[in-house]
Amino acid sequence: MGFQDGLAEAARTIEDHLRHVLSDLGGLPVVQAMGYAAAGGKRLRGYLVLEGARIHGIAPAQAIWPACAIEAIHAYSLVHDDLPCMDDDDMRRGMPTVHRKWDEATAVLAGDALQTLGFELVACPDCHPDAVVRADLALSLARAAGARGMVLGQALDMAAEQADTPLSLDQITALQAGKTGALFGWSAEAGARMARADIAPLTGYARALGLAFQIADDILDVEGDAAQMGKAVGKDAGRGKATFVSLLGMDGAKRRAESLVTEACDCLSVYGSEAGNLQDAARFVISRRT
Ligand code: GRG
């Protein structure tokens, strides 16, 4: 099966499992909003979990739990990031954002509940028979999602919005390592954690992949705006905010993203041909159009 088909199949499996989990929670508006927010998306983080688990011999029936956990946490982050007090976005994944479809209070609660659901999914016995492994998954997920990881990156991003001078390349790299890199890191490492194996090759892989993903995001932002408005100004660059494109130039950003993909693939040499799908995932992050 090719990478695109594998990703589509993983996305369907994750979608079905999340729907099944949410069906146990009743029909309150907040639960409907959780299902709405958790639907769709590329499922790249969940795919990394499933592939990282597969190469470590973890059964798919177990791996689906952390795959859904990371997608629930990712969905929460998007719901909260879209709120008027943060990015104030009206659309997400081609649909109205949760606070536009419902209201702000429902969006805050749905995000909160998606976050706690993520921890529930890795803490439940179906995820892994060994409570020590489940605790390790939960602890590492808390570190990746919280004030050492994604929340730190988001807070640095908000501070940068208020700063007088744009961030340097090192600063923006550190910011993005938290904001988007931390969840990619956890996703890639989860299978190794479940197998009690060395996470180091996957840590290196995800660090490079996460950065390549963010550079590609900045490139898409500029190219999307240029296509729409006939000029090369991305949303963030338009606000005078530093981006990888504003700091490296378009060609420099593309070259950096490509060298990061090579670096990510090289980190996986220890797994031989078993890591082919993870290498394809790294190539995908810089070739995607959304
Ligand atoms: C609110 C604590 C808190 C954190 C928010 C990740 C994040 C931090 C905000 C998202 C803002 C954003 C759009 C960042 C650009 C990179 C990114 C995470 C894009 C969305 O990820 P994809 O492309 O989304 O994997 P899909 O929809 O495919 O799941």
Show the tokens assigned to 230.
């006939």
User: Cα separation of 104 and 138, whole Å?
Assistant: 28
What is the count of structural domains for the chain?
1
CA of 78 to the centre of ligand 1 (A): 6
pTM: predicted TM-score of the whole model, two decimal places: 0.95
The pLDDT score that the predictor gives to residue 239 is: 59
Is it the case that residue 234 has pLDDT exceeding 60? no
Q: What's the ipTM?
A: 0.94
CATH number of the domain residue 179 falls in: 1.10.600.10
The pLDDT score that the predictor gives to residue 232 is: 39
Is it the case that residue 167 has pLDDT exceeding 70? yes
Report H helices in the chain: 3-23, 29-38, 44-54, 60-82, 98-101, 104-123, 131-145, 150-162, 169-176, 182-194, 200-229, 235-238, 244-267, 276-287
Is it the case that residue 231 has pLDDT exceeding 50? no
Is it the case that residue 238 has pLDDT exceeding 60? no
The pLDDT score that the predictor gives to residue 289 is: 85
The pLDDT score that the predictor gives to residue 230 is: 47
Mean pLDDT of 10-32: 97
The pLDDT score that the predictor gives to residue 235 is: 53
User: Cα separation of 18 and 67, whole Å?
Assistant: 10
Which residue's C-alpha comes closest to atom 5 of ligand 1?
77
Is it the case that residue 41 has pLDDT exceeding 60? yes
CA of 91 to the centre of ligand 1 (A): 13
The pLDDT score that the predictor gives to residue 254 is: 97
Is it the case that residue 11 has pLDDT exceeding 80? yes
CA of 207 to the centre of ligand 1 (A): 16
Show the tokens assigned to 161.
């919005």
Which residue's C-alpha comes closest to atom 14 of ligand 1?
180
> What is the residue-averaged pLDDT of the chain?
95
235, 221 in Cβ contact below 8 A? yes
Show the tokens assigned to 248.
């490296």
CA of 156 to the centre of ligand 1 (A): 15
Catalogue the long-range contacts made by 95-99 (C-beta closer than 8 Å, 24 or more residues apart): 95/36, 95/40, 98/33, 98/36, 98/37
Is it the case that residue 171 has pLDDT exceeding 70? yes
Q: Residue 69 sits in which domain range?
A: 3-287
* Protein residues whose CB sits closer than 6 Å to any atom of ligand 1: 41-42, 44, 74, 77-78, 80-81, 93, 150-151, 154, 179-180, 217
Show the tokens assigned to 199.
């996470």
Over residues 126-154, the pLDDT tens digits come to 999 999 999 999 999 999 999 999 999 99
